[in-house]
Amino acid sequence: MNAAVDPLNAYVAHTAVHLPGKPGRALSGLTFAVKDIYDLEGCRTGCGNPRWLETHGPATTTAPALQAVLDAGAELTGKVHTDELAYSLNGENAHYGTPRNSKAPTRIPGGSSSGSAAVVAGGAVDFALGSDTGGSVRVPASYCGILGIRTTHGRIATTGLMPLAPSFDTVGWFAREPAIMRRVGGVLLAGGDTGPRHRLVLASDAFAMLDDSGRDGLRQAVDRVKRHFASATDAAVSPVGLAAWMQAFRPLQAREVWACHGAWIEAHKPTFGPGIAERFAWARTVSEAEVAPLRGVRQQAAVRLRDLLGGDALLCLPTAPGAAPIKGTSGPALEEFRGRALSLTAIAGLSGCPQISLPLGETAGAPLGLSLLGPPGTDELLLALAERILGD
């Protein structure tokens, strides 16, 4: 697809697919795109890397989550770019370029669901499917000023998606309108906890990750959310510090990443872009002995979130530590920002909780998302609450 047809640089060139919708179904009348890690029968899944594309044939089946959306009547407009093997939060692909962030054109769109966020923010589709392992839906949603949800780990099957770190991988999606987010949730989710939550817990250690501009940019957003709860209190999420949780998350994720892709990397020797090459090289060195004690940290995080939220609270936190970095920001600066971003996103990653990013803030002239996080199984509640908050 050329620039005149795809001004967002979001659609992959190797698979031009357009499947019309079906009338009279839950998602009839809606258009969508899908991240190029989802298998679609008869099409190749590129996963953001040319060597992957060369060494994998067409998919023989369609990912169940994608099939469910197609069966619900939505019109598929195509597959869209991802960061290489989904192992980045930036959205800058060394092989295929950077999808356009329509809300902040000089800034990156975020990854790894970069194309999915770009087509939604740019108005090309009504919604888009992505995936979230370490923040790959939540961060692009924040950067691009749209809604994005990471679902409870294990609630929606990730069968037919390229795995990154299976014990963290989740299905997610983006939209501009909360009603559309909820319609998609009605297709992909069933049987969740929709009981009311009267308390809001403001994550003081998460808000401390913001600079002054970020705090100012979210102040009115926090007040807007607080109006929907009977009470709001401040509390630190991590007793040992969010940085410590991030430092547990990264090796745990990396160990699984290498288990999934190490053999393919060593056999086919793909070329990876800056940052991603170094990340895979490091993942190769992470040993079982290193990650074994970190599994206890993960369990402690899950228990902490359960105790903090109980049966009547949700957590409020910034989705990202600031506005999207400027395109072409240097490697060291990006890695520093990535570390702070992962300190925020690792909360849901370690605990398996669902989290939705709401486009409520602005900083440095660019979008900044505010998130609500709930106990496992409260995905539908988050979607319903997002609709109420954005409708007030």
Mean confidence (pLDDT) of the chain: 96
CB 210 within 8 A of CB 322: yes
pLDDT at residue 195 is higher than 90: no
- Give me the mean pLDDT over the 32-46 stretch: 98
pLDDT at residue 111 is higher than 70: yes
**Domains contained in the chain, CATH given:** 31-188 (3.90.1300.10)
Would you list the DSSP string of 217-229? HHHHHHHHHHTTS
pLDDT at residue 2 is higher than 60: no
CA–CA distances in Å: residue 195 to residues 201, 380, 381: 17, 10, 7
CA–CA distances in Å: residue 16 to residues 40, 49, 208, 235: 12, 17, 44, 49
pLDDT at residue 134 is higher than 60: yes
CB 355 within 8 A of CB 348: yes
Q: Which of 79, 88, 103, 112 is catalytic?
A: 112
- Give me the mean pLDDT over the 216-233 stretch: 97
Is 142 one of the annotated active-site residues of the chain?
no
The count of other CB atoms within 10 Å of the CB of residue 12 is 25
pLDDT at residue 1 is higher than 70: no
pLDDT tens digits along 64-96: 999 999 999 999 999 999 999 999 999 999 999
- Give me the mean pLDDT over the 197-215 stretch: 94
Percent above pLDDT 70 for the chain: 99
Q: Which of 113, 136, 142, 351 is catalytic?
A: 136
- Give me the mean pLDDT over the 268-278 stretch: 96
CB 62 within 8 A of CB 40: yes
The count of other CB atoms within 10 Å of the CB of residue 294 is 18
Q: Please state, in angstroms and rounded to a whole number, the distance separating the CA atoms of residues 209 and 70.
A: 40
Angle at 157 between CA 256 and CA 352, to 5 degrees: 60
**Residue with the larger pLDDT of the pair 89 and 212:** 89
pLDDT tens digits along 148-180: 999 999 999 999 999 999 999 999 999 999 999
Using 50, 70 and 90 to split pLDDT, how confident is the model at 140? very high
CB 36 within 8 A of CB 45: yes
- Give me the mean pLDDT over the 1-17 stretch: 84
| Helices vs. strands in the chain: H and E counts, helices first | 13, 10
Q: Tokens 């990912």 appear where?
A: 63
- Residue 4's pLDDT is 54
CB 366 within 8 A of CB 143: yes
Q: Please state, in angstroms and rounded to a whole number, the distance separating the CA atoms of residues 130 and 4.
A: 25
Report the candidate in 133, 155, 127 with the shortest Cα–Cα distance to residue 83: 133
Q: Please state, in angstroms and rounded to a whole number, the distance separating the CA atoms of residues 57 and 53.
A: 8
SS3 state of residue 359: strand
Is 327 one of the annotated active-site residues of the chain?
no
Using 50, 70 and 90 to split pLDDT, how confident is the model at 45? very high
pLDDT at residue 316 is higher than 80: yes
Is 136 one of the annotated active-site residues of the chain?
yes
Q: Please state, in angstroms and rounded to a whole number, the distance separating the CA atoms of residues 43 and 53.
A: 11
Q: Which of 35, 79, 238, 371 is catalytic?
A: 35
pLDDT tens digits along 325-353: 999 898 788 888 999 999 999 999 999 99
Percent above pLDDT 90 for the chain: 93
pLDDT at residue 213 is higher than 80: yes
